[in-house]
Chain A
Amino acid sequence: SQQGEEDPQALSIQEGENATMNCSYKTSINNLQWYRQNSGRGLVHLILIRSNEREKHSGRLRVTLDTSKKSSSLLITASRAADTASYFCATTSGTYKYIFGTGTRLKVLA
């Protein structure tokens, strides 16, 4: 079963707008990571946030983590057409496996 559930399942925005997607998980975690996947290809790591961190930035990406609510959000600012992809959160919880969420399909319209 999936540890993470992303919300929304699909998102369509105009270029230049911000995109926000959320991830909820069920158990305590060591860290949470966000990945991007283009058109059924391999995943690309975007950002990792540790369980003792609340916010992290990387370029146009901003990730927040609320361990009390077991949730995380990924904000992409000033979206570009090239950001069109599926975004997944992945959690690890002490074992050597990553549990991925169901993904958010983002479409950025030019």
Chain B
Amino acid sequence: KAGVTQTPRYLIKTRGQQVTLSCSPISGHRSVSWYQQTPGQGLQFLFEYFSETQRNKGNFPGRFSGRQFSNSRSEMNVSTLELGDSALYLCASSYTGTSSYEQYFGPGTRLTVT
């Protein structure tokens, strides 16, 4: 089975711009979660989607949004970028998304905001 893929792998944006990141989960996985990883804050949960519905959300401002398509692929969008949004964005997929199942992570998208 192919692993979780994320595109693009690297991205440089300017403050005020917006960005869209994409995640393709493992075939058959219906849950996709997004995380932001920074040296200062560590790994922080953004949101989780299951069958096109957002099931859970972390404590991030409304500038961060996401969606999931019928094929389980997911996108996250960050509008009005700030310098502090520079981070590694990771997505992870799991079979059902229940807490009993392990998550499979993609390689991440490294976003740099200048």
Provide the residues of chain B in CB contact with A98, threshold 8 Å.
33, 45, 99, 103
B55 CB-CB contact with A under 8 Å: yes
Interface residue SS majority, chain B: strand
Q: Which of B48, B103, B108 contacts A45 (CB 8 A)?
A: B103
Residue from the list B4, B48, B90 in contact with A96, Cβ < 8 A: B48
When the two chains form their complex, are residues A30 and B99 in contact, meaning their CB atoms are under 8 A apart? yes
Whether the pair A40, B48 counts as a contact (CB closer than 8 A) is: no
Chain B residues within an 8 Å CB radius of A95? 56, 99
- B residues bordering A, Cβ < 8 Å? 4, 31, 33, 35, 37, 42-45, 48, 50, 55-56, 58, 88, 90, 92, 97-100, 102-108, 110
Query: Which chain A residue shows the least CB distance to B50?
Result: A96
B98 to chain A: which residues have CB within 8 Å? 96
Mind listing 15 A-B residue pairs with CB under 8 Å? A31-B99, A31-B100, A35-B105, A40-B37, A42-B105, A43-B90, A43-B103, A45-B103, A48-B102, A88-B43, A92-B99, A95-B56, A95-B99, A96-B50, A96-B55
Complex formed: what's the CA distance from A17 to B96 in Å? 38
- How far apart sit A103 and B110, CA to CA, in the bound complex (Å)? 19
Within 8 A of B (CB), among A66-110: 88, 92-103
A38 to B102, CA, bound (A): 18
